[in-house]
Protein backbone atom coordinates (compact mmCIF):
# COMPACT_ATOMS: atom_id res chain seq x y z
CA UNK A 1 0.00 0.00 0.00
CA UNK A 2 1.19 3.51 -0.83
CA UNK A 3 1.27 5.61 2.33
CA UNK A 4 -0.15 9.13 2.54
CA UNK A 5 2.09 11.51 4.47
CA UNK A 6 0.40 14.84 5.13
CA UNK A 7 2.64 17.89 4.97
CA UNK A 8 1.39 20.32 7.64
CA UNK A 9 3.48 23.34 6.65
CA UNK A 10 0.43 25.29 5.48
CA UNK A 11 -1.25 24.77 8.84
CA UNK A 12 1.78 26.36 10.47
CA UNK A 13 1.64 29.23 7.95
CA UNK A 14 -1.91 30.05 9.06
CA UNK A 15 -0.91 29.85 12.71
CA UNK A 16 2.09 32.11 12.25
CA UNK A 17 -0.03 34.77 10.53
CA UNK A 18 -1.54 35.70 13.91
CA UNK A 19 1.36 34.83 16.17
CA UNK A 20 -0.59 32.64 18.59
CA UNK A 21 -1.30 28.90 18.51
CA UNK A 22 -4.44 28.73 16.39
CA UNK A 23 -4.60 26.39 14.59
CA UNK A 24 -2.62 24.10 16.86
CA UNK A 25 -0.10 22.37 14.60
CA UNK A 26 0.37 19.39 16.90
CA UNK A 27 -3.38 18.82 17.24
CA UNK A 28 -3.87 19.01 13.48
CA UNK A 29 -1.06 16.47 12.95
CA UNK A 30 -2.63 14.08 15.46
CA UNK A 31 -6.03 14.57 13.83
CA UNK A 32 -4.52 13.78 10.42
CA UNK A 33 -3.28 10.50 11.85
CA UNK A 34 -6.67 9.82 13.43
CA UNK A 35 -8.38 10.49 10.09
CA UNK A 36 -6.19 7.98 8.26
CA UNK A 37 -2.87 9.58 7.29
CA UNK A 38 0.01 7.13 7.57
CA UNK A 39 2.65 9.80 8.06
CA UNK A 40 3.31 13.45 8.87
CA UNK A 41 5.77 15.60 6.93
CA UNK A 42 7.29 18.92 7.96
CA UNK A 43 9.72 21.13 6.07
CA UNK A 44 11.33 23.56 8.53
CA UNK A 45 13.14 26.43 6.83
CA UNK A 46 15.79 28.70 8.38
CA UNK A 47 13.42 31.69 8.66
CA UNK A 48 10.75 29.52 10.38
CA UNK A 49 8.07 31.06 8.18
CA UNK A 50 5.89 28.03 8.77
CA UNK A 51 7.19 25.02 10.71
CA UNK A 52 9.43 26.03 13.60
CA UNK A 53 12.20 24.03 15.23
CA UNK A 54 10.08 23.76 18.35
CA UNK A 55 7.27 22.20 16.33
CA UNK A 56 9.63 19.36 15.42
CA UNK A 57 10.47 18.73 19.06
CA UNK A 58 6.80 18.93 20.05
CA UNK A 59 5.64 16.54 17.34
CA UNK A 60 8.26 13.81 17.68
CA UNK A 61 7.13 12.17 20.97
CA UNK A 62 3.42 12.39 20.12
CA UNK A 63 3.14 11.06 16.57
CA UNK A 64 2.07 7.46 16.08
CA UNK A 65 2.85 7.21 12.36
CA UNK A 66 6.00 7.88 10.35
CA UNK A 67 7.57 11.28 10.89
CA UNK A 68 9.32 12.72 7.82
CA UNK A 69 11.45 15.86 8.08
CA UNK A 70 12.48 17.40 4.78
CA UNK A 71 14.83 20.24 4.00
CA UNK A 72 18.21 21.39 2.77
CA UNK A 73 20.91 19.61 4.81
CA UNK A 74 22.67 22.71 6.05
CA UNK A 75 24.35 22.39 9.47
CA UNK A 76 21.38 23.68 11.49
CA UNK A 77 18.98 21.35 9.68
CA UNK A 78 21.29 18.37 10.12
CA UNK A 79 21.57 19.08 13.86
CA UNK A 80 17.78 19.35 14.17
CA UNK A 81 17.20 16.02 12.44
CA UNK A 82 19.91 14.26 14.44
CA UNK A 83 18.30 15.50 17.66
CA UNK A 84 14.73 14.63 16.64
CA UNK A 85 15.56 11.26 14.99
CA UNK A 86 12.51 10.94 12.71
CA UNK A 87 11.72 7.79 10.76
CA UNK A 88 12.82 9.52 7.56
CA UNK A 89 14.71 12.57 6.41
CA UNK A 90 14.18 13.87 2.88
CA UNK A 91 17.06 15.91 1.48
CA UNK A 92 15.84 18.82 -0.66
CA UNK A 93 18.11 21.35 -2.43
CA UNK A 94 16.05 24.48 -1.77
CA UNK A 95 17.64 27.88 -1.17
CA UNK A 96 16.59 30.34 1.54
CA UNK A 97 14.85 32.53 -1.04
CA UNK A 98 12.64 29.85 -2.58
CA UNK A 99 8.93 29.97 -1.82
CA UNK A 100 8.76 26.22 -2.37
CA UNK A 101 10.98 23.46 -3.71
CA UNK A 102 11.30 23.62 -7.49
CA UNK A 103 13.89 21.04 -8.53
CA UNK A 104 15.68 17.91 -7.45
CA UNK A 105 19.33 17.36 -6.60
CA UNK A 106 22.05 16.97 -9.17
CA UNK A 107 23.11 13.85 -7.33
CA UNK A 108 26.16 13.32 -9.52
CA UNK A 109 27.67 16.78 -8.93
CA UNK A 110 26.78 16.67 -5.23
CA UNK A 111 27.72 13.02 -4.74
CA UNK A 112 30.41 13.51 -2.08
CA UNK A 113 28.27 15.89 -0.03
CA UNK A 114 25.16 13.71 -0.20
CA UNK A 115 27.16 10.60 0.68
CA UNK A 116 28.62 12.25 3.76
CA UNK A 117 25.27 13.59 4.97
CA UNK A 118 23.53 10.28 4.31
CA UNK A 119 26.13 8.43 6.37
CA UNK A 120 25.55 10.79 9.31
CA UNK A 121 21.82 10.13 9.29
CA UNK A 122 22.31 6.39 8.89
CA UNK A 123 24.43 6.39 12.05
CA UNK A 124 21.25 7.42 13.89
CA UNK A 125 19.12 4.83 12.12
CA UNK A 126 17.25 7.43 10.05
CA UNK A 127 16.00 6.41 6.60
CA UNK A 128 17.29 8.81 3.92
CA UNK A 129 15.29 9.87 0.88
CA UNK A 130 16.85 12.18 -1.73
CA UNK A 131 14.63 14.54 -3.72
CA UNK A 132 15.35 14.19 -7.46
CA UNK A 133 13.86 15.02 -10.82
CA UNK A 134 12.45 12.17 -12.92
CA UNK A 135 15.88 11.42 -14.37
CA UNK A 136 17.24 7.86 -14.20
CA UNK A 137 20.82 9.13 -13.94
CA UNK A 138 19.98 11.23 -10.89
CA UNK A 139 18.22 8.22 -9.36
CA UNK A 140 21.29 6.07 -9.97
CA UNK A 141 23.66 8.53 -8.31
CA UNK A 142 21.31 8.84 -5.34
CA UNK A 143 21.61 5.09 -4.90
CA UNK A 144 25.40 5.32 -5.13
CA UNK A 145 25.33 8.01 -2.42
CA UNK A 146 23.67 5.51 -0.10
CA UNK A 147 20.07 6.72 -0.18
CA UNK A 148 17.37 4.32 0.95
CA UNK A 149 14.76 6.02 -1.22
CA UNK A 150 14.34 8.78 -3.75
CA UNK A 151 11.45 11.20 -3.84
CA UNK A 152 10.48 12.21 -7.36
CA UNK A 153 9.70 15.90 -7.82
CA UNK A 154 6.25 15.68 -9.39
CA UNK A 155 5.42 19.29 -10.28
CA UNK A 156 6.14 18.67 -14.01
CA UNK A 157 3.69 15.75 -13.91
CA UNK A 158 1.01 17.89 -12.27
CA UNK A 159 1.53 20.73 -14.74
CA UNK A 160 1.34 18.51 -17.82
CA UNK A 161 -1.37 16.15 -16.57
CA UNK A 162 -4.34 18.21 -17.90
CA UNK A 163 -2.74 18.39 -21.36
CA UNK A 164 -1.66 14.77 -21.85
CA UNK A 165 -1.56 12.53 -18.82
CA UNK A 166 0.21 9.68 -20.61
CA UNK A 167 3.04 11.94 -21.73
CA UNK A 168 3.12 13.53 -18.28
CA UNK A 169 3.57 10.24 -16.44
CA UNK A 170 6.02 8.64 -18.88
CA UNK A 171 9.33 9.97 -17.45
CA UNK A 172 8.16 9.21 -13.92
CA UNK A 173 7.46 5.60 -14.80
CA UNK A 174 10.97 5.30 -16.25
CA UNK A 175 12.57 6.91 -13.17
CA UNK A 176 10.41 4.85 -10.82
CA UNK A 177 11.34 1.59 -12.50
CA UNK A 178 14.98 2.61 -12.36
CA UNK A 179 14.65 3.13 -8.62
CA UNK A 180 13.02 -0.28 -8.24
CA UNK A 181 15.79 -1.96 -10.25
CA UNK A 182 18.39 -0.44 -7.90
CA UNK A 183 16.58 -1.59 -4.78
CA UNK A 184 15.53 1.92 -3.78
CA UNK A 185 12.24 2.78 -2.16
CA UNK A 186 10.17 5.34 -4.03
CA UNK A 187 8.40 8.44 -2.73
CA UNK A 188 6.67 11.14 -4.77
CA UNK A 189 5.64 14.67 -3.95
CA UNK A 190 4.88 18.21 -5.07
CA UNK A 191 1.59 19.43 -6.53
CA UNK A 192 -0.07 16.04 -6.31
CA UNK A 193 -3.83 16.47 -5.90
CA UNK A 194 -7.20 14.76 -6.05
CA UNK A 195 -7.15 15.49 -9.78
CA UNK A 196 -3.91 13.70 -10.66
CA UNK A 197 -2.99 11.35 -7.81
CA UNK A 198 -5.11 8.33 -8.72
CA UNK A 199 -3.66 8.09 -12.23
CA UNK A 200 -0.09 8.30 -10.96
CA UNK A 201 -0.84 5.52 -8.51
CA UNK A 202 -2.54 3.46 -11.21
CA UNK A 203 0.58 3.64 -13.38
CA UNK A 204 3.03 3.37 -10.46
CA UNK A 205 1.38 1.22 -7.79
CA UNK A 206 4.79 0.44 -6.26
CA UNK A 207 5.19 3.98 -4.84
CA UNK A 208 5.96 3.68 -1.13
CA UNK A 209 4.78 7.11 -0.05
CA UNK A 210 3.31 10.36 -1.33
CA UNK A 211 3.84 13.58 0.59
CA UNK A 212 1.03 16.09 0.04
CA UNK A 213 0.44 19.40 1.72
CA UNK A 214 -0.71 22.45 -0.22
CA UNK A 215 -3.45 20.84 -2.32
CA UNK A 216 -4.67 18.72 0.57
CA UNK A 217 -5.05 21.68 2.93
CA UNK A 218 -6.77 23.69 0.19
CA UNK A 219 -9.23 20.83 -0.37
CA UNK A 220 -9.84 20.62 3.37
CA UNK A 221 -11.15 24.20 3.38
CA UNK A 222 -14.12 22.94 1.34
CA UNK A 223 -14.38 19.26 2.24
CA UNK A 224 -13.15 19.20 5.82
CA UNK A 225 -9.92 17.56 6.90
CA UNK A 226 -11.33 14.11 7.65
CA UNK A 227 -13.18 13.81 4.33
CA UNK A 228 -10.18 15.15 2.42
CA UNK A 229 -7.79 12.58 3.88
CA UNK A 230 -10.35 9.87 3.13
CA UNK A 231 -10.51 10.93 -0.53
CA UNK A 232 -6.72 11.05 -0.91
CA UNK A 233 -6.46 7.57 0.58
CA UNK A 234 -9.08 6.38 -1.89
CA UNK A 235 -6.82 7.57 -4.72
CA UNK A 236 -4.14 5.23 -3.38
CA UNK A 237 -6.25 2.05 -3.28
Which residues participate in catalysis according to the annotation?
43, 70, 190
Distance of CA 71 to the CA centre of its chain: 9
Concatenate the DSSP letters of all residues of 12-69 into one string. Answer: HHHHHHHTS-SS-HHHHHHHHHHTT-SEEEE---TT-SSS-HHHHHHHTTT--SEEEE
With residues binned 3-state (H G I as helix, E B as strand, rest as coil), the percentages for the chain, rounded to 5, are: 45, 15, 35
Whether the Cβ atoms of residue 144 and residue 179 lie closer than 8 Å to each other: no
Under 8 Å between Cβ of 196 and 158: yes
Cβ atoms within 10 Å of 125's Cβ, excluding its own: 8
Torsion of CA 126, 127, 132, 136, to 10 degrees: 140
Q: How far, in Å, CA of 14 to CA of 16, rounded?
A: 6
**Alpha-carbon dihedral sign for residues 225, 231, 235, 237:** positive
CB 29 within 8 A of CB 58: no
Nearest-angstrom CA–CA distance, 174 and 34: 35
Cα–Cα distance measured from residue 160 to residue 155, given in angstroms and rounded to the nearest whole number: 9
Amino acid sequence: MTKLSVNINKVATIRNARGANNPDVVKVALDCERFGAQGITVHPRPDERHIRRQDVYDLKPLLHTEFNIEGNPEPAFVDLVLQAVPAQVTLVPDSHEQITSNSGWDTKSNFDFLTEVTERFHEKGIRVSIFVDADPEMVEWAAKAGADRVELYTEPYATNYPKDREAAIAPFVVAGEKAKSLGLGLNCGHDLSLENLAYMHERMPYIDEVSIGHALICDALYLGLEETIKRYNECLK
